[in-house]
Structure formats: structure tokens, C-alpha cells
Amino acid sequence: MVVWVLPVNYLLGSLPCGLVVTWLFRGVDLRKYGSGNIGATNVSRVAGFFPALLAGVGDALKGFFGAYLALRFLGSSPVLFFLATSLVVVGHDWSLFLRFRGGKGVATTLGVLFCLSWQAALLCFLTWVVMVAITRYSSLGSLSGALVMPILLFLFRRPQAFVWWGIFAAVLVFLRHKDNIRRLVHRQELKIGERRSEGHGRECPGAERDEL
């Protein structure tokens, strides 16, 4: 039984790409700046567009590769497949390397989704783009994309295990964004391009030079 995929996927998801990229480009701990989150949006605030792109791609590749391993070795077992694809996102959200703290799993979730259905992944990404273009709230775009994800997997007639994973991953995205939802309701959420000036909100020296 190839259950080794389960711990491997958790460890793969645990790799903190945003933290590593920001340290390489800025020499700082991302968790101490901006919103304190390790995702690509905060990387863009602290280190600029290109490092954020690298972090986002890295997080997405974790998800894609984890889903590939699940399909390759556990595709015949819906339960193990569901666990393996879920663990790669759980690893990002509760990283072993960050004392079981982590990001919000959006890029990693998108990476898994791209492996399961590139059509659904593309439409979810476009949903994010449209919502961000209209509102400039990255969190609102992420929530909107997560909401339509299991629906798209169902409409594209993907296997039942894929749809259940989509529901689970969407719930995780909403849970990880609970503070963002509260700030959105109270109109306190940061828009793309803004930097927090309190709380975690220390600004990384020189960040304004690279931010787009």
C-alpha cells in the first residue's frame, strides 16, 4: 500500500514558499511585516510583484505535484485520494515547519484543482481576477473562487472524490479567511497595494520601491 503519499503530501504542503522567497529577496521574516500572512498577497506588499509571483507559483506547484502523486498512486482508492489531496492543503495551512501555522491555502488549492480539472481551475482563477479587478480585495476574489470550485467540479462531471475534495478545500478557504471576512464586513480589509500600519503592520524597508 502506497500510503507514503499521505505524509509526503503533508510535508510538501508544509514548505513555506512565501517565507523563503521573501527571506531570499529581502532578508526578513515575512510573518513580521504587512498582514503577517505567508501568502503571495503579503509577499507583494513586503517584497514586490516578482517575489510574490514566485511565491504564488511555488505554492501552486506544491498543490499540483501533491495531486499528481495522489492520482498516480492512490487513484483507485477514493478515500485515500481524498486524504492525500486534502493533506497537501492542510500542510500549507498548518505547516510542520512553522509550528503548525501557515497560510490560507488559496494558491495551493488552485494547484491541486489544476491537476484535477484545468477547466475548473481556469474559471476559478478568472473569478478571482474579475472580483479583484472590481473590488481590489484579494480575499474577496479568493472567497469567490473557492465558492464556485466544487460547483465547477460537479458541472464538469469530475469523479465524486474530486467534488468532495472541492467542498472540503472551499470550507478550508473560508475558515482560513474568517478574519478577512470580518474585516470586509467592517470595511477594514486591506486592498491590493495597501500596507498595514498597525498590528503586524511593520513595513519592510524598501518595499515601496518594488510594489506594483
Say if 197 falls within a structural domain: yes
Phi–psi pair at 95, nearest 5 degrees: -75, 135
- Tally of structural domains, the chain: 1
Residue 209 pLDDT > 70: no
In this prediction, residue 37 carries a pLDDT of 87
Kindly state the helix (H) or strand (E) to which residue 183 belongs, with its residue range.
Answer: helix 178-185
pLDDT (mean) for 193-197: 60
* CA-based nearest residue to 66, from 158, 153, 152, 165: 165
Q: How confident is the model at residue 16 (pLDDT cuts 50, 70, 90)?
A: very high
CA 118, 190, 29, 7 dihedral sign is: negative
Phi–psi pair at 75, nearest 5 degrees: -60, -25
**DSSP classification of residue 1:** -
Say if 136 falls within a structural domain: yes
In this prediction, residue 1 carries a pLDDT of 65
Of the listed ranges 1-5, 83-87, 102-106, the one predicted with least confidence: 1-5
pLDDT (mean) for 5-15: 97
Q: How confident is the model at residue 191 (pLDDT cuts 50, 70, 90)?
A: confident
Say if 212 falls within a structural domain: no
* CA-based nearest residue to 149, from 39, 49, 35, 63: 63
- Give me the domain span that covers residue 150: 5-205
Say if 121 falls within a structural domain: yes
What's the whole-model pTM score?
0.89
Question: Do residues 73 and 5 lie in contact, with contact meaning Cβ atoms separated by under 8 Å?
Answer: yes
Say if 146 falls within a structural domain: yes
